[in-house]
Chain A
Amino acid sequence: MTGPLLQGIRSVLRDLRAGELRVLVAAVCVAVASMTAVGFFTDRVGQAVAMRSAEVLAADLVVRSNRPIPGDYLDQAGEAGLATATGTSFPSVVVAGERTALADIEAVSEAYPLRGSVRTSATPYGEARPEGGIPATGEAWADPKLLARLDILPGSVIGVGALKLTVTRVLDYRPDQGWSFVDLAPTLLINEGDVPATGLIQPGSRVSYRQMFAGPRQALEAFRGVVEPRLGVSERIRDLQDAGPEIRRALERAQRFLGLAALVAVLLGAIAVAMAAARYARRQIDPVALMKAFGARQTYLLQMACAQLVTIALISGALGIGLGYLAQAGLSWLLADIAGGRLPAPGLRPMAAGLVLALVVLAGFALPSVMAIRRVPPLRVLRRDITAPPPSVWLVFGAAVATVLGLMLWQVGDLGLTGWLALGVAGLALALTGAATLLLWLAGRVRGSAGASWRYALAGLARRRSDSIVQVVAFGLGIMVLLLLAVVRGDLLGEWRASLPESAPNRFLINIQPDELTEVEAFFAGRDADANLMPLVRARLTHIEGRSVEGMEFASDRAGRLANREANLSWASGLQEDNRLTEGVWWTDPPAPGQVSVEEDFARDLGIALGDRLEFDVAGETFAATVTSLRSVQWDSFRPNFFMLFSPGTLEAFPRTHIGSLHVGRDDGSLLLELIRLFPSITVIDIDAMLGQVRRVMDQAAMAVQYVFLFSLAAGVAVLFAVVESGRNERMFESALLRALGARRRQILAGALIEFALLGVLAGLVAAGGAQVCGAIMAERVFGLDYAADPMLWLIGGATGLLLVAGTGLLATRSVVSQPPVTVLRRF
């Protein structure tokens, strides 16, 4: 039993010393390193990004109530190592001299905000800076709208109940300011210590209390588990999952970009392992034939092969994990700024995952070849030209693809992304095989009339026919994933950011009364501004296909909440720019009333299908409409959007207001002041902060993707070397022989250059096609973005293939031609 195992281990150690295993070890190493580092990456950076979006709550977790919340939670959180803060908010009239205005008083405790920071400026709409703390007692920071209504500037003294406060700064932004339709009054931020002195909190007054918590995820989850069952009737818990759809969508996309980059690195690493493993298996043919001739049995050989693979997996896996750890360190350093040094240390899990990966990849890619070794005829000892029945290329690839698919799902857990990438890879492998076969056929036809270097190159391609095909496929796959990543990194990330241009709306206008509409429209038309005004009718959805919504069971809590709250309805004659029809047809012109177009996720959550009849209640009056289309909505466009949009003529009879959105430049503050002065009932909501958050998520995703891109690049280089290395022995022998016959270095290099250049250009062109198709499908299906194919990609693909493959090939061939021919010839 120990015989074959020991022998296997010894042969691996011998090969290692002789440098025969370097490419295989390097390939496994890169795959494992990208996996561990990327696992860390998606996980930990995902957390960092989540922390960013936690700013929406100013904390990771918030408990709200309209009654004072007992201190137990705070104690509990303190014990669990969570940071805490408290806040109290209530509406109150603020007095300044003769003038008064209604304000939302936000009183907060010392540690506020636990996530993000408050920004203030010295003058209304002036340059803002982040604040380190909260207003001191006796001081207040006021929203510029409040200052406008009171007609005062910072430095003035205001009255809040019985208390006099000095306004020291203008409040530009606080993380949890929100922008819901009910957030009407401008904010006055004060110190919680001042609240009793106002004397405003009496039994029966409208006060909202909240406790905020932040800390490591496990601690938070545990805390939530303890607190949730004990919540009082009036107490509500909120965390990131409840953040608005804009941030959530941005986060989802960010995670997908990262997932894709990770998949690419692992996939490339796997291809490199496959190539290197095949070469390794080929090199075992002679010793195995010899051992067979001496009487070794099949099981003995198999056990020995397994021992070899496990030894290689352990050694290269350990190296890869070490490398992955280094990469993690680099990553933490790189992201220290963004994550604020809060990235938790990686645990043991990535280590285990790395080792498992090494074993799985080696087994998946090397075992089929190694099994084939067992069938090596002992006769090979006598006649060198009898090779093992070639390990069926398809068996190897089948095993490889199955392994990679499993890994991808395990790593990213995103079926759509994995599926499309896998389909793309499979389709491309087929296309590459076809193209390579065609090329080799063509090469065979022109070979007779070609010069020596060309003949030598073409003959090399043709003889290593199945090898050449596998090489084209491997090169092509490598180049395709790299191009795809470039597409994603450049075009898709660009597309994503372009979906949120500098000129994206950053102010929402609500509460525009129907009788003001024409004047408001004239106001904006006169100032050359577009306010995207849309009507808004508040209604309750009562029945779906005749069934009452009230008693309905929904798939998720979110769906239940959506169904049971008052919905915002609107109408439009045309489809908005940032909407896309996914099912059904848009109404024709002139539109028949009684039709509704429903946002697809909303429809899915509530179980609404095309053709369903929906019934609504508007302040006691009812009406119905038929679902004639479903839409997808790009929520992060920051334009007014609606779950349910009706055909004109359906809603006009009901009481309504209008809402709008517009972009206001830094210097256009006066436009809004003027608007508020002219139409005091209109509420302007500033969503600059929200936009900033989405942009920051995008920037972080872009940076993370680029970092992971480095791993993919390393993996791509490993593929190139593995492919070139796989033909190294033949090349070495042939070039030594040619030089004995009088070939100059230049001639041999020219032959190799031609061979690799042909392979590279072919692989590059097919890869460019594959990358475009895959990119377009992924853009549409996975990322929900528009992607216009870039014709430059053909050029880039062909050139990349040419340069990369020819360059690597030349490099490998140089080392082969630099030795005196006799040294090489002696070996054969």
Chain B
Amino acid sequence: MSEVNGRDTVLASRGLTKEVSSPEGPLTIVSGVDLEVRRGESVAVVGESGAGKSTLLALLAGLDLPSAGEAWLDGIDLTTLDEDGRAELRARRVGFVFQSFHLVPSLTAVENVMLPLELAGDRGAREAAGAVLDRVGLARRLHHYPRQLSGGERQRVAIARAFVGQPLILFADEPTGNLDAVTGKRIADLLFSLNAEQGATLILVTHDQSLASRCDRVVRLDEGRVA
């Protein structure tokens, strides 16, 4: 354990495996993944559709539990925590950007961004949220509801929400997948520059070769295995 839990290692997995039952019997969608990611590193996860990229991401972030193997986040074994323990860990150390944005529809832009801070019990959430929204260029959209924003604007709110808590690790699952090429490029730029500013670790799932090449390292998945 010590070799995967060194000083600089913020994310690690050993023999990470996910099995689900399907109409055709048990199906292994992630199989024996060993991974080690250092602080500040950016890693692209690529692979064909159905290769298990999203599943791996969910396992590493503690959104789901593996059938076998272990995963460590900031040195803590996720499999030893309960649902609430994992949530608390995420609240302090993890940011998310999803392909389909996933904003809370009942909250305004600024309220969406405030959420992670409030959930972690931080004070001054409103000021911090305003500042990050300003940074992503949405200073004039603070009190708009998600339905009043365009796809690109929504993803910028999502990015602001992901960075507002200055997370240790940022998970992004095809953050540009739902956007046109130009907007997608802008969002990617924003993601990388914020990541650089905060020195966060980035795990990026993508189909986009050019996006993957901007990362320090590329991990290729093939039928659930690291190729």
Q: Which residues of A contact B (CB under 8 A)?
A: 385, 451-452, 455-456, 459-460, 462-464, 730, 734, 737-747, 820-823, 825-826, 828
> How far in angstroms is the closest Cβ of chain A from B110?
10
> How far in angstroms is the closest Cβ of chain A from B65?
7
Is there contact, CB below 8 Å, between A741 and B90?
yes
Q: Counting CB contacts under 8 A, is B19 at the interface? A: no
A734-B104, A737-B102, A741-B90 are contacts. A822–B64 as well, Cβ < 8 Å?
yes
Q: Which residues of B contact A (CB under 8 A)?
A: 54, 58, 61, 63-65, 83-84, 87-92, 94, 96, 98, 100, 102, 104-107, 111, 114-116, 118-120, 145, 147, 161
Is there contact, CB below 8 Å, between A451 and B100?
no
Interchain CB contact (< 8 A) of A738 among B88, B100, B104, B111: B104
> How far in angstroms is the closest Cβ of chain B from A66?
85
> How far in angstroms is the closest Cβ of chain B from A559?
66
In the assembled complex, the Cα of A456 lies from the Cα of B96 at a distance in Å of 19
Is there contact, CB below 8 Å, between B63 and A740?
yes
In the assembled complex, the Cα of A434 lies from the Cα of B82 at a distance in Å of 44
Is there contact, CB below 8 Å, between B84 and A451?
no
Q: Which of B84, B94, B115, B119 has the most CB of A within 10 A?
A: B119
Is there contact, CB below 8 Å, between A743 and B119?
yes
Q: What secondary structure prevails in chain B residues at the interface with A?
A: helix
Given A747-B119, A826-B54, 18 new contacts (CB under 8 A) = A456-B106, A463-B105, A463-B145, A730-B105, A738-B115, A740-B63, A740-B96, A740-B102, A741-B91, A741-B161, A743-B87, A744-B87, A744-B88, A745-B87, A821-B64, A823-B64, A825-B63, A825-B102
Is there contact, CB below 8 Å, between A742 and B100?
no
Q: Which of A451, A737, A740, A741 has the most CB of B within 10 A?
A: A741
Is there contact, CB below 8 Å, between B119 and A745?
no
Is there contact, CB below 8 Å, between A452 and B119?
yes
> How far in angstroms is the closest Cβ of chain A from B55?
8
In the assembled complex, the Cα of A730 lies from the Cα of B61 at a distance in Å of 23
Contacts of A823 on B, CB cut-off 8 Å? 64
Is there contact, CB below 8 Å, between B90 and A464?
no
A451-B118, A822-B64, A828-B100 are contacts. A742–B90 as well, Cβ < 8 Å?
yes
Interchain CB contact (< 8 A) of B107 among A459, A464, A740, A826: A459
Contacts of A462 on B, CB cut-off 8 Å? 106
Is there contact, CB below 8 Å, between B92 and A742?
yes
> How far in angstroms is the closest Cβ of chain B from A822?
4
Contacts of B54 on A, CB cut-off 8 Å? 826
Q: Which of B58, B65, B98, B114 has the most CB of A within 10 A?
A: B58
A455-B118, A742-B116, A743-B87 are contacts. A822–B102 as well, Cβ < 8 Å?
no
Closest to A820 in B: B64
Is there contact, CB below 8 Å, between B84 and A746?
yes
What are 18 residue pairs bridging A and B, where the CB atoms are less than 8 Å apart in the complex?
A451-B118, A452-B118, A455-B118, A456-B104, A456-B107, A463-B105, A739-B83, A740-B61, A740-B90, A741-B90, A741-B115, A742-B89, A742-B92, A742-B116, A744-B88, A820-B63, A823-B64, A828-B100
Closest to A458 in B: B106
> How far in angstroms is the closest Cβ of chain B from A682?
81
Is there contact, CB below 8 Å, between A741 and B58?
no
In the assembled complex, the Cα of A742 lies from the Cα of B167 at a distance in Å of 12
Closest to B95 in A: A741
Is there contact, CB below 8 Å, between B84 and A745?
yes
Is there contact, CB below 8 Å, between A742 and B83?
no
Closest to A386 in B: B147
> How far in angstroms is the closest Cβ of chain B from A404?
32
Is there contact, CB below 8 Å, between A745 and B111?
no
Is there contact, CB below 8 Å, between A822 and B120?
no
> How far in angstroms is the closest Cβ of chain A from B13?
16
Contacts of A463 on B, CB cut-off 8 Å? 105-106, 145
